[in-house]
């Protein structure tokens, strides 16, 4: 519970330095890994890590040192996104802190629980432009869920403990703790019990977490669902965060309601399920977007109606009544007015709805047959006759091996959208990507974090040549710690997504996006960083054997595939356009050729 006292831990009252207290709280919170880069203002706490591990050889806290502090932040994010646990990273003051601003904002935008511990110059010189001083509190406050500057060393342990509670409670997010160097060196009795009393926040979070849906509220929803002829679930990242996947899948089966997911909601619904229509939005499947246009009751679960989904709010789900379940009341009605709402935990809310409606019979078979026909008619497709390797073909092939069981991490760009379209995901937390911020350079370090958190699982970073350049130094981190991350680079010699926009909306003026003049040899780069498997392929003939060898290799592996620079991501809903004006490209059938109902096959059933 937020604001409640934890059980008494060991070492209570023992005289410790602030740095040792920091490590003790992390250990008490169950932290097993810290990602971070040292420096002057955080040296006492790094020394405490060394000494803690010397004294606890049976259960040390692993320290993963990246090439850059931004990499540390994305590693902590990959750890948190793949497990649901709080990720921890630790950096020094000044540039260490400023390099961490991007992953902190990225975690805030995608509701990822991480705790950043920053070193800071001594209290006496804060505000004097001391060496490697940065205004962390002012810098991070707009980017984080909460920021602490520890001025009273007696409250250090309580502050760190509270930071973990804030990071993982309610709508999760990043918390920053700025610790002056003299606070780290201070000595005093260790307080193993206290947390800061954030009464207003704690009361709200606890009330929302524990509340159960009133019977009449559930009945209102069920009346709307029963009257509906074409209901549709719209599942966002909040469904993954709240661990509501099991309840969503049961709800779909019980009431026979199909579902679309956002980019961040991928994995909440098994993509191989017939009721799953995959991703909606700017680069969602055509049939998902058509279903949104056609539905008469849209049930949003942990979704934000953001601009990549509802670019034109008034034209989004234009025929539908809207129901919205979210733990954050600020999201209800923020973009799109709703007809029914519930603020609470998604998993609990769905359980209450199913309990209230367990005896109600509903028949949505005509709608399901229509949806089935749309999935067949408007299925994803690409240029299968090209002699140049298509990026979709690479991921389609890889999917035949992973079968929805691997952890797929992506950078940002066209390859990110192709991953969302062409991979199967059977479980939540197996798709890891930077959603709201769209941060290039995210993929490789996030894959490192996910692999550390899931040592027995296959973790694949699917990256682009533009995105991987941003944090390519983390290739060495894979080999330094012998992490068997598989790095698949789709190289189209350019910033593919920007090239696509420049082609469609800027008359082909490719300003700053052509990378064909760059001389980077990615294979040699990986070899120089210690990769024993590092290959490049440029023909279909070589693709399959290279892919098999890449996946079978024991240890970190790097595979570059040279792909068609003219391959675009379709479907595409242009900026400021409604779904009805979606571009499906030359290989995906659009509605313009006739209604899907013309090919309804009554033998199909769900």
CATH number of the CATH domain containing 317:
3.40.50.1220
DSSP 166: H
* Residue 94, domain extent: 15-208
Structure tokens at 29: 């919170």
Round to whole Å and give the CA distance between 73 and 434. 12
Does 322 share its domain with 442? no
**Phi/psi zone of residue 277: left (φ > 0), alpha (ψ -120 to 50 degrees), beta?**
alpha
Closest C-alpha to 288, from 319, 310, 258? 258
Q: Is residue 123 part of a domain?
A: yes
559 three-state secondary structure: strand
Q: Which one of the listed residues 132, 155, 197, 341 is annotated catalytic?
A: 132
Catalytic residue flag (residue 181): yes
Look over the chain and give the mean of its residue pLDDT values, rounded to a whole number: 94
* Domains contained in the chain, number: 3
Q: Is residue 544 part of a domain?
A: yes
Does 404 share its domain with 442? yes
Question: Which tens digit of pLDDT belongs to each residue from 109-124?
Answer: 999 999 999 999 999 9
Is pLDDT above 50 for 333? yes
Q: Tell me the three-class secondary structure of 504-552, residue by residue.
A: HHCCCCCCCCECCCCCCCHHHHHHHCCCCEEEEECCHHHHHHHHHHHHH
Is pLDDT above 60 for 395? yes
Is pLDDT above 50 for 602? no
Is pLDDT above 70 for 6? no
Closest C-alpha to 300, from 253, 352, 244? 244
CA dist list (Å): 541 to 10, 196, 399, 545, 546: 62, 62, 18, 8, 10
The continuous run of DSSP H or E covering 283 comes out as: none
Round to whole Å and give the CA distance between 328 and 304. 10
Q: How many CB atoms lie within 10 A of CB 350?
A: 24
Round to whole Å and give the CA distance between 446 and 423. 18
Residue 521: the pLDDT is: 96
Catalytic residue flag (residue 497): yes
Return the ∠ at Cα 450 (arms to 526 and 427), rounded to 5°. Answer: 125
Catalytic residue flag (residue 132): yes
Does 367 share its domain with 495? no
Q: Is residue 596 part of a domain?
A: no
Q: Which one of the listed residues 16, 21, 24, 69 is annotated catalytic?
A: 69
Mean pLDDT of 311-316: 95
Q: Which one of the listed residues 252, 264, 497, 547 is annotated catalytic?
A: 497
Mean pLDDT of 256-272: 97
CATH number of the CATH domain containing 416:
3.40.50.970
Q: Which one of the listed residues 85, 145, 168, 181 is annotated catalytic?
A: 181
Question: Which tens digit of pLDDT belongs to each residue from 404-441?
Answer: 999 999 999 999 999 999 999 999 999 999 999 999 99
Residue 198: the pLDDT is: 86
Q: Is residue 499 part of a domain?
A: yes
Mean pLDDT of 203-229: 91
Tell me whether the omega of the peptide bond preceding residue 56 falls within 30 degrees of 0, making it cis.
no
Round to whole Å and give the CA distance between 461 and 445. 9
Q: What separation, in Å, do the N-terminal and C-terminal C-alpha atoms of the chain show?
A: 42
Does 264 share its domain with 182? no
Residue 211: the pLDDT is: 86
Question: Which tens digit of pLDDT belongs to each residue from 7-28?
Answer: 545 788 899 999 999 999 999 9
Mean pLDDT of 539-554: 98
Instruction: For residue 28, report the phi and psi dihedrals to the nearest 5 degrees.
Output: -65, -30
Q: Is residue 167 part of a domain?
A: yes
Does 28 share its domain with 160? yes
Does 154 share its domain with 243? no
DSSP 193: S
- Pairing assessment for the beta strands 187-189 and 15-17 based on DSSP bridges: antiparallel
Q: Is residue 605 part of a domain?
A: no
Whose structure tokens read 């240890």? 555
Is pLDDT above 50 for 251? yes
74 close to 446: Cβ distance less than 8 angstroms: yes
Stated length of the chain: 606
- Using the 3D structure, point to which of 142, 175, 208 is the last residue of a domain: 208
Residue 208: the pLDDT is: 81
Does 396 share its domain with 364? no
Question: Which tens digit of pLDDT belongs to each residue from 66-121?
Answer: 999 999 999 999 999 999 999 999 999 999 999 999 999 999 999 999 999 999 99
Round to whole Å and give the CA distance between 192 and 184. 17
Q: Which one of the listed residues 1, 131, 187, 246 is annotated catalytic?
A: 131
Residue 9: the pLDDT is: 58
Handedness of CA 170, 172, 178, 183 (dihedral sign): positive
Q: Please provide the DSSP assignment of 344-409 as one string.
A: S-HHHHHHHHHHHTTT-----HHHHHHHHHHHHHT-----TT-SSPPHHHHHHHHHHHHTT-SEEE
Closest C-alpha to 277, from 340, 333, 223, 230? 230
Residue 601: the pLDDT is: 40
Round to whole Å and give the CA distance between 526 and 27. 35
Question: Which tens digit of pLDDT belongs to each residue from 358-386?
Answer: 888 888 999 999 999 999 999 999 999 99
Which residues fall within 8 angstroms of residue 453, CB to CB, at 6 or more apart?
33, 78, 79, 82, 83, 85
Give the lowest-confidence range in 1-5, 138-142, 198-202, 577-581: 1-5
Question: Which tens digit of pLDDT belongs to each residue from 474-517?
Answer: 999 999 999 999 999 999 999 999 999 999 999 999 999 887 77
Q: Is residue 120 part of a domain?
A: yes
Which residues fall within 8 angstroms of residue 314, CB to CB, at 6 or more apart?
none
Does 79 share its domain with 101? yes
3-state helix, strand, coil in the chain (%, to 5): 40, 15, 45
Does 352 share its domain with 417? no
Catalytic residue flag (residue 355): no
- Using the 3D structure, point to which of 326, 348, 377 is the last residue of a domain: 377
472 close to 442: Cβ distance less than 8 angstroms: no
CA dist list (Å): 60 to 15, 50, 84, 121, 483: 21, 9, 21, 28, 18
Does 436 share its domain with 520? yes
Residue 517: the pLDDT is: 74
102 close to 143: Cβ distance less than 8 angstroms: no
Q: What band does 604 get if pLDDT is binned at 50, 70 and 90?
A: very low
61 three-state secondary structure: coil
What is the pTM (predicted TM-score) of this model?
A: 0.94
Q: Is residue 603 part of a domain?
A: no
Does 204 share its domain with 331? no
Does 278 share its domain with 337? yes
Residue 3: the pLDDT is: 53
- Using the 3D structure, point to which of 325, 347, 377 is the last residue of a domain: 377
36 close to 75: Cβ distance less than 8 angstroms: no
CA dist list (Å): 405 to 170, 543, 586: 29, 21, 31
């Amino acid at each position: 519970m937020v604001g409640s006292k934890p059980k008494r831990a060991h070492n209570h009252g023992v005289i410790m330095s602030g740095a040792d207290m920091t490590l003790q709280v992390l250990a008490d919170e169950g932290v097993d890994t810290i990602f971070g880069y040292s420096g002057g203002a955080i040296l006492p706490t790094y020394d405490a890590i060394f000494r803690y591990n010397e004294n606890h050889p049976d259960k040390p806290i692993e320290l993963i040192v990246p090439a850059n502090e931004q990499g540390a932040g994305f590693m902590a994010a990959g750890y948190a996104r793949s497990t649901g646990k709080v990720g921890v990273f630790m950096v020094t003051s000044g540039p260490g802190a400023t390099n961490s601003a991007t992953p902190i904002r990225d975690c805030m935008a995608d509701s990822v629980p991480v705790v950043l511990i920053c070193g800071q110059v001594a209290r006496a010189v804060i505000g004097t432009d001391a060496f490697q001083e940065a205004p962390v509190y002012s810098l991070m406050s707009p980017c984080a869920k909460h920021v602490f500057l520890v001025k009273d060393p007696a409250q250090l342990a309580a502050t760190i403990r509270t930071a973990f509670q804030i990071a993982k409670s309610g709508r999760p997010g990043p918390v920053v703790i700025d610790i002056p160097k003299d606070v780290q060196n201070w000595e005093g009795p260790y307080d193993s019990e206290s947390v800061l009393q954030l009464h207003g926040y704690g009361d709200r979070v606890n009330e929302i977490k524990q509340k159960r849906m009133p019977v009449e509220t559930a009945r209102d929803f069920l009346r709307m669902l029963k009257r509906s002829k074409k209901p549709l679930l719209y599942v966002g990242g909040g469904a993954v965060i709240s661990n509501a996947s099991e309840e969503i899948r049961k709800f779909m089966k019980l009431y026979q309601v199909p579902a679309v997911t956002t980019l961040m909601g991928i994995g909440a619904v098994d993509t191989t399920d017939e009721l799953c229509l995959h991703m909606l939005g700017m680069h969602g499947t055509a049939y998902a977007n058509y279903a949104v246009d056609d539905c008469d009751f849209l049930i949003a679960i942990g979704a934000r109606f953001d601009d990549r989904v509802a670019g034109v709010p008034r034209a989004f789900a234009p025929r539908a009544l809207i129901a919205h379940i979210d733990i954050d009341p600020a999201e209800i009605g923020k973009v799109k007015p709703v007809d029914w709402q519930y603020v609470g935990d998604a998993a609990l809310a769905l359980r209450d709805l199913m309990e209230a409606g367990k005896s109600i019979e509903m028949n949505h078979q005509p709608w399901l047959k229509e949806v089935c026909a749309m999935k067949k008619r408007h299925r994803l497709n690409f240029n299968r006759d090209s002699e140049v390797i298509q990026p979709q073909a690479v991921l389609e092939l890889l999917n035949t091996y992973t079968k929805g069981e691997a952890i797929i991490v992506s950078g940002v760009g066209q390859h990110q959208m192709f991953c969302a379209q062409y991979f199967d995901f059977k479980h939540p937390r197996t798709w890891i990507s930077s959603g709201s911020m769209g941060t290039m350079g995210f993929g490789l370090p996030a894959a490192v974090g996910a692999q550390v958190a899931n040592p027995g699982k296959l973790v694949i970073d699917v990256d682009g040549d533009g995105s991987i350049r941003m944090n390519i130094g983390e290739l060495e981190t894979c080999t330094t710690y012998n992490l068997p991350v598989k790095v698949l680079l789709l190289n189209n010699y350019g910033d593919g997504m920007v090239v696509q926009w420049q082609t469609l909306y800027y008359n082909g003026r490719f300003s700053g996006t052509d990378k064909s003049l760059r001389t980077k040899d990615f294979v040699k780069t990986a070899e120089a960083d210690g990769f024993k498997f590092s290959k490049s392929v440029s023909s279909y003939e070589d693709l399959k054997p290279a892919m098999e060898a890449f996946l079978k290799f024991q240890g970190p592996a790097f595979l570059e595939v040279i792909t068609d620079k003219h391959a675009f991501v379709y479907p595409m809903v242009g900026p400021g356009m409604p779904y009805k004006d979606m571009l499906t490209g030359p290989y995906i059938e659009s509605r313009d050729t006739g209604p899907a109902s013309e090919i309804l096959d009554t033998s199909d059933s769900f």
